Amino acid sequence: MKTLARPLALLSALILLALCSTSAFAATIVDWGGSYVPSSFVNLNMTGNGTTGNTYTRYYSASTKLSPTSGYTAPSGKSGNFYGALETTQPSAVPTTLGQYRVQDNVAGDRIQLTGGSGVGTNTLLGFITFLRTDFLNGTSTGPALSFDASSSLVLNIPAGTNATAVRMAVLNGSTW
């Protein structure tokens, strides 16, 4: 019997992070949406993983992309490279990987699809996906530090029907999230 954790379609179809300020500068810094894979799906880069007990982990590295290494291309003007860490725990088996870890082709816009591994009982899936400044759009990948003030905003759009139980936004400031 195969039981999967609830599918977690993180960043499904479109993610739009916008940096807005009362200053003269406002720009979209990350825009993930559109068609990235030609058909079906392409698996994520799971390099840098390990298993401890009943937990499988894909460790975070700012130098190793989580985005697929082949068969995957960002549409013009869209964000393509992403990084992250993923972890699944299964109560009754030692997982060797996640159930699904891929960018899936979708008519409404491709999506990053993650599910826990197979096994008996309830599986958990934790993780985060991040975009590095070196990949930001609209000239924000270099230059002076981006800043936030009381009038700044970050916007995260997750389409209806996404089965994400918890989505948070984070900004890395030096070594602190």
Residue extents of the structural domains in the chain:
1-177
pLDDT band at 118 (very low <50, low <70, confident <90, very high): low
- Max avg pLDDT among 3-12, 56-65, 124-133: 56-65
Average pLDDT over residues 79-104: 85
Percentage of the chain modeled with pLDDT above 70: 77
What pTM did the predictor assign?
0.76
Give the 3-state DSSP-derived string for 96-147, with helices as H, strands as E and coil as C.
Answer: CCCCEEEEECCCCCCEEEEECCCCCCCCEEEEEEECCHHHCCCCCCCCCCCC
Average pLDDT over residues 107-115: 85
What pLDDT, on the 0 to 100 scale, is given for residue 96?
Answer: 76
The CA distances from residue 38 to 29, 35, 78, in Å, are 25, 7, 16
